[in-house]
Amino acid sequence: MQQFLPNGNTKLVILIGNPVGHSLSPKMHTSAFIKIGFNAVYLACNVELSRLKQTVEAIRALNIIGANVTIPHKIEIMKYLDEIDPIANDIGAINTIVNKDGILYATNTDGIGAVRSLKESHIRLDNITTTMIGAGGVARPIAFYLLNEINHLYITDIKHEAASKLKSDLEKRYPNKISTFSNDVGTLSEILKSSDLLINCTPVGMFPNIDNTPVPISLLRKDLAVFDVVYNPIQTKLVKNALSLGAIAIGGIKMFLYQGVEGFELWTGKKAPVKLMENIIVNELSSK
């Protein structure tokens, strides 16, 4: 890759969160900017809650072209922005900001990225039935954007109230398309018989507990596609089990990749170098 040195015309994109030192985004995005010849750098900024409003004001004052927002600021930052994508507003959290000539527009590319990763992996979404395990923070954006495509969504969580709350929020936009069910293997087995796609939104199977899986292999089958949001390890036991049966199965690395791709394309107005970005993520995770 060619050497890059910033100059007086170099644009800036930032990551706002706390902590941010572990983030793969600066290397991924800056490398992608260089690859397409877009004169910009991406920096991670550790921001305390008390400095959040000032940080948003700095985006305008310094003409920063965009930002990502991560934990713990995805909700609180919304009050300081000018325009929020309607679905992201319903989700109640944003992760991407675009500076449109001083007007700060925000969206949530987590859900967009999840849907795009499924489509890019040749998983059919139109009119299918999906089962989602877990109703926490990562489940919300996926569910809100997925219901634009699918016919019905079944949701379960170890906390029944969490599943019920997500169902209630989703039904304001998508009435009669969501059901909840009890979190036990017997009920899950019955629900999966009529499902085309299984999504794991829990941390089960995440490093170091890599031998755990939220769904026994006996409940999987060749024609049940699987999406596991866990990306460390790159292939969880759930993904490996599904692949061993001949099913289409993808891990959370694809969602992370495509949420980044969506942001990149919003900031630059250009197509992202997807393969380069994916290789950087895989190499960084493999080296840890």
> In this predicted model, what pLDDT tens digit does every residue of 46-95 receive, in sequence order?
999 999 999 999 999 999 999 999 999 999 999 999 999 999 999 999 99
Spans of all domains in the chain? 11-107+256-286, 112-250
pLDDT value of position 286: 86
Active site residues: 74
Residue 133 · residue 198 · CB < 8 Å: yes
Chosen CATH of 11-107+256-286 out of 3.40.50.150, 3.40.50.800, 3.40.50.10860, 3.30.565.10: 3.40.50.10860
pTM score of the predicted model: 0.92
Per-residue pLDDT, averaged over 130-140, amounts to 95
- Domain 112-250 classified CATH 3.30.70.20? no
Helix locations, 62-182, DSSP H: 86-91, 109-120, 139-146, 160-171
> In this predicted model, what pLDDT tens digit does every residue of 28-46 receive, in sequence order?
999 999 999 999 999 999 9
> In this predicted model, what pLDDT tens digit does every residue of 226-265 receive, in sequence order?
999 999 999 999 999 999 999 999 999 999 999 999 999 9
Can 11-107+256-286 and 112-250 be said to share one CATH topology?
yes
pLDDT value of position 4: 81
pLDDT reading at 177 higher than 90: yes
pLDDT reading at 151 higher than 90: yes
Residue 69 · residue 14 · CB < 8 Å: no
Q: In what order do the strands lie in the sheet with 225-228?
A: 178-180, 152-156, 129-133, 197-200, 225-228, 249-250
- Sign of dihedral through CA atoms 149, 150, 156, 162? positive
pLDDT reading at 204 higher than 90: yes
